[in-house]
Amino acid sequence: MVPAAAARLVSAALLATALAGCHAAPHPAAPSSSTSIAAPPTTPAPVARIAPLPVRTVEKSQPTSPDKCPAINPAVPTPPGNPLVTCDLDRTTQYTLGPETMRLDLLHVAAPKPLTSDFYEVNLTLDAASATAWAAFTTAHPHGHIAFLRDDLVLEAPMIEEPVTSGRIALTTQTAQAADQLARLAGRPG
């Protein structure tokens, strides 16, 4: 009989030999009596592109009522070079907007998140080119009043508080329902 220490040493040596000999080596396939059909390679599902988000400067804004808002036809958008008179989604504010300054390409629109009991935030993530253009625009227009649009309606019309160089835009609204609508419209597929 081998003493216990010698048995452990022999076991360790056998294990080290076995491990030292382990390497990735192709093994022939086991013979098979059935035929198999190779599955076609899988391709990732196409990612839905988000429709570009038009941005216009706000020249004037004033309270209004829905009956005083101009009619909008989403099938016939206002040409980008033309000024636009339109309302917000709630049809409580009328805006006079300058020509389109840019279109932002979005990579992602996050689900709304509550900031407080009275405010919700929707975060937009810009692609690299739009992030660069947006950073340059917000740097050149401190305290500018701009509007983000969808179908010639104002989604949000924030003031530029400081240059935005993060590649993200945070839009806030006061109700969960408005935040859901904002996220859905901002993230609409193109």
Tokens read off for 29: 């396939």
Give the model's pLDDT for residue 120. 95
CA distance 106 to 190: 10
Classified as helix, coil or strand, 127 is coil
Of 18-27, 64-73, 100-109, minimum mean pLDDT range: 18-27
Classified as helix, coil or strand, 189 is strand
Give the model's pLDDT for residue 12. 36
Task: Give the E-state strand segments of the chain in sequence order.
Answer: 53-63, 84-87, 93-104, 106-109, 113-114, 120-126, 146-150, 153-156, 168-173
Q: Is 124 exposed, middle or buried (0-12, 13-18, 19+ CB in 10 A)?
A: buried
pLDDT bin (cut points 50, 70, 90) of residue 41 is low
- What dotted CATH number matches 53-71+78-187? 3.30.1360.200
Higher pLDDT, 116 or 10: 116
Tokens read off for 115: 């900031």
Q: Where are the alpha helices (DSSP H) in 21-152?
A: 128-140
Give the model's pLDDT for residue 117. 83
Tokens read off for 54: 């038009």
Could you tell me if 69 and 91 are in contact, meaning their C-beta atoms sit under 8 angstroms apart? yes
Domain boundaries, the chain: 53-71+78-187
Higher pLDDT, 174 or 125: 125
Q: Is 129 exposed, middle or buried (0-12, 13-18, 19+ CB in 10 A)?
A: exposed
